[in-house]
Amino acid sequence: MAGFYVRYGKRFLDLAIVIPALLVLAPVLVVTAIVVRIHLGTPVLYWQERPGLGGRLFRICKFRTMIDARAADGTLLPDERRLPWVGRFLRSCSLDELPELWNVLLGQMSLVGPRPLLTHYLSLYSPEQSRRHDVLPGVTGWAQVNGRNAVAWEKRFELDVWYVDNMSLWLDIRILWMTIAAVLSRRGISASGHVTMPEFASPARAVPQARRVVVIGAGGHAKVVVSTLKACGIEIEAVFDDGPRAWGSDVLGVPVRGSIDMIDELDGLVSGVIAIGDNAVRERLARRLNIDWLTVIHPQAIVHQSAQLGPGTVVFAGAVVQPDVVVGRHVIINTAASIDHDGRVGDFASIAPGAHLAGTVTLGRRSALGTGSSVIPKIVIGDDASVGAGTVVVRDVPPGRTLIGQTPRYLRAFESEGNDRKAA
């Protein structure tokens, strides 16, 4: 149900609400535009580039709320001196956000989702925080109904990522109702000491730090991961594995130092990759360990610049990731696998060697595609599903199901018809 809603239902809900809303609110939009023109001047509408789905830029539209008051040297005055009572009123009632319904109509935004922030924040996000761009930005969102601008940045991003992981029809309906209550109460309009929200800064990312790279897991899959890291010129400090038999050995010359818990004892910034094929185990370890997860692409892989890869994901040699593909966290894209345009791959999924996803395919969280399997366009494979080696997937796979075997081919009738013609 969640997969269907994300793929089709959410857009239907947006249009079902936005189209009538634009008609009903047309008089409000006109009156607001006149008020802005009289009290704040022109232009009435404020356009600005913001990052949307996958970090791609679009132009957001709002009503103007500030005046162009400048100091004697020509520089703009601080925000609090350029925000008159009309602008404060528009913001308190969220009337300045109404033109964003146009962005929703165009498919650049959704009614519900993480708010689109300034473009220069993109380089400041941690890998986890950047996941807020895994979905369309929203006019309102989970963070907005839990404090709006009064919530600290770190908490706000946590709420955004929580929404990404739990998005559903009922959650969106709940957020829309809570938004109405938040607007009527006018709470959380600004942060303490600011007219709206202070600038986001990320001190931890301001100064580059030496990192210690580790690999988690010493099995066969670790050999391919270590080989890929070395091909990228990344020096690996050690491998860690909970199997005592592996301790003291090495993986392609990298020592297996001990149990995974020993990683917590390392000093400084630790980066790493989980080299374990079991999807559920990768998820447990990713949630347990406090590590800066690397996204690794083999030099012989082809990944289009518009594709989005989550932290912890590894793309092996010969793999191909086509334009506008969005791949989640800790995904394995194995040797010679391919994902065609506009594909969506959920967190902790795995794509075996030689497996191929055609365009606009969705692969759910923790799902696995077997070696040499193929998926035709527009198929949705649910969370925790498995597709056996060599299987051709021609219909949606429900969550938790396992699909094996090749699809039957209807050739016999044509062959018989051809033999009948020859006999005649």
CB neighbours of 24 closer than 8 A, spacing ≥ 6? none
Domain map of the chain by residue range?
2-185, 208-293, 295-408
Lowest mean pLDDT among 45-49, 111-115, 163-167: 45-49
Model confidence at 194: pLDDT above 60: no
- How many other CB atoms are there within 10 angstroms of residue 92's CB atom? 14
Q: In this structure, which topology does domain 295-408 adopt according to CATH?
A: UDP N-Acetylglucosamine Acyltransferase; domain 1 (2.160.10)
- Structural element, H or E, at residue 320: strand 320-321
pLDDT value at residue 416: 41
pLDDT per residue over 305-343, tens digit each?
788 888 899 999 999 999 889 999 999 999 999 999 999
**Strand-strand pairing, 302-303 and 308-309:** unpaired
Domain 208-293 indexed as CATH 2.140.10.10: no
pLDDT value at residue 42: 86
The span from the CA of 16 to the CA of 105, in Å, is 10
pLDDT value at residue 138: 94
Residues belonging to the active site = 341
pTM for this model (two decimals): 0.52
Q: Which residue has the higher pLDDT, 266 or 171?
A: 171
Lowest mean pLDDT among 56-60, 137-141, 399-403: 56-60
pLDDT value at residue 205: 37
The average confidence (pLDDT) of the chain is 85
pLDDT value at residue 268: 74
Across 89-117, average pLDDT: 91
